[in-house]
Structure formats: structure tokens, C-alpha cells
């Protein structure tokens, strides 16, 4: 347990800090009014990029905003969809950034979309193999436990790789969002700094999640190596 905390503990603290930062940045930027609300800004950017056929829907929940590449639709949470604030237009523009990536066949997004089912399958199976490894080890079936642990590490690795691939996709979407917001006159250059704070804080949550996944994988790899060494020595 101590070894796990040494590996993963710092990244868990980083994740908590990132969550606090995004809430703080979002709350601050929500107090700064804009001429457009989130859906207006999203529609303006989509139309300016020749994506008039991409619909915008209102989703449920807070910060549930996303672009669905399979349905080709931008979904915005109620606060973002209806909100006349820097936070709303910034988040809406970020999600539209993903739609622009999709239309332009942005390579990291294409790879990420291909990796989604693999990562989901690997994540689901990794949990099964992890508990199987524990159960088999408890029953004294060390050889089978070792193979279950190998399959767990392989499945979890798929999740880690997916999160690493996702990072450039998110950063690029934010970059596109800021460029579009300023060039289309939705915000001015002074307001850009507030949008940057919100999008940077959001990006940090992805960075923290990726580092946490990498640290977790490193812990289990070390655990597997030490266990294998112990079995050989025994």
C-alpha cells in the first residue's frame, strides 16, 4: 500500500489540484459577460468553418460538454449552452474545435477515435484479470495468477496509451478555440486571457489523469516484476 501511494499519491494530489483549479477558473470566468451565449458562439464558429450541417444540442449535467464524432454533433451543458459568459463561449469553442479537427481529419483525433473501442475493451477486461490474479494467487495457483496479471497489465496499457494520445487532441482543440474566438470577434484580446485560464485548467485535468494512469501502470509493472522475482527465488 505504501509503495502504491508513493507511485500514485502525487498524481492523485495533482488531479485534485486540477479539479479545484478548473472550478475556480470556471467560476471566475462565468462572471464576465459576453455578447453571445455558448450556443451562439459555437454556431458562429461552425458556420465560419463550413460546418453548417453540424447540429448543436443541449445535454444534461454540469460540464458534460463534448463533441460526438460518431453522431457528428456538438453537445453543450445547460450552463454553457445558455450562458452569456467568457466561460461559456470558451468551453463551447473548445468543443467546436473537436468538430473542426474531425472535419479536417486531424491525425491525432483519427487515431484517438480508432483507439476508443480498444481502450474501452482493455479497461473492462483489465479489471476482470486483476481480480482473477488476486483470486488465483490466493488459491496457490501462482502460474495462472502470473498470466492473469500479464493480461491485466496489457489491458490497462491500452487505457494509458489512449490517454496519452488524447493529450495533443485536447490541447489542439483549445488552441483552435482561442484562435476562432478572437478572429471572429466573439471576444477581444483582453478577454482571451480569461478564456486561456479556463481551457488551461481543463487541460490540466487531462494531464493529471494521464500521469495518474502512467503511475498506476508503473506500480503494477514493478509489482509484477517483484512478484516474479520472488517466485523464482522461492
User: Which cell numbers hold the place of 137?
Assistant: 494467487
191 as an active site residue: the answer is no
Answer whether 22's CB lies under 8 Å from 201's CB: yes
> How big is the chain, counted in residues?
234
- Selected catalytic residue, list 95, 170, 180, 191: 95
Question: Which sign, positive or negative, has the C-alpha torsion 217, 222, 228, 234?
Answer: negative
Question: Which sign, positive or negative, has the C-alpha torsion 149, 150, 151, 156?
Answer: positive
141's torsion region: left (phi>0), alpha (psi -120 to 50) or beta?
beta
User: Which cell numbers hold the place of 46?
Assistant: 461552425
Instruction: Tell me if residue 123 falls in helix, strand or coil.
Output: helix
What's the distance, Cα to Cα, between the start and end of the chain in Å?
Answer: 23
- Residue 67 dihedral angles phi and psi, to the nearest 5°: -105, 130
- Pairing status of strand 66-68 against strand 73-76: antiparallel
User: Which cell numbers hold the place of 174?
Assistant: 483549445
The residues annotated with a catalytic role in the active site are 95
Amino acid at each position: 500500500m505504501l509503495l502504491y501511494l508513493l507511485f500514485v499519491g502525487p498524481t492523485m494530489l495533482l488531479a485534485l489540484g486540477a479539479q479545484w483549479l478548473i472550478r475556480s477558473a470556471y467560476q471566475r470566468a462565468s462572471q464576465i459577460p459576453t455578447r453571445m451565449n455558448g450556443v451562439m458562439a459555437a454556431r458562429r464558429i461552425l458556420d465560419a468553418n463550413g460546418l453548417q450541417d453540424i447540429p448543436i444540442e443541449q445535454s444534461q449535467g454540469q460540464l458534460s460538454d463534448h463533441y460526438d464524432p460518431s453522431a457528428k454533433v456538438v453537445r453543450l451543458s445547460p450552463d454553457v449552452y445558455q450562458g452569456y459568459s467568457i466561460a461559456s463561449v470558451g468551453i463551447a469553442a473548445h468543443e467546436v474545435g473537436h468538430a473542426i479537427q474531425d472535419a479536417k481529419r486531424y491525425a491525432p483525433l483519427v487515431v484517438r477515435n480508432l483507439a476508443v473501442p480498444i481502450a474501452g475493451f482493455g479497461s473492462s477486461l483489465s479489471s476482470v484479470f486483476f481480480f482473477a490474479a488476486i483470486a488465483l494467487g490466493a488459491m496457490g495457483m501462482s502460474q495462472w495468477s502470473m498470466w492473469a496479471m500479464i493480461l491485466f497489465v496489457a489491458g490497462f496499457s491500452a487505457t494509458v496509451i489512449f490517454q496519452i494520445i488524447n493529450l495533443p487532441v485536447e490541447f489542439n482543440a483549445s488552441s483552435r478555440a482561442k484562435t476562432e474566438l478572437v478572429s471572429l470577434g466573439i471576444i477581444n484580446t483582453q478577454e482571451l486571457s480569461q478564456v486561456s485560464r479556463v481551457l488551461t485548467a481543463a487541460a490540466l485535468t487531462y494531464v493529471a489523469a494521464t500521469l495518474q494512469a502512467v503511475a498506476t501502470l508503473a506500480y503494477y509493472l514493478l509489482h509484477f516484476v517483484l512478484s516474479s522475482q520472488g517466485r523464482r527465488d522461492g
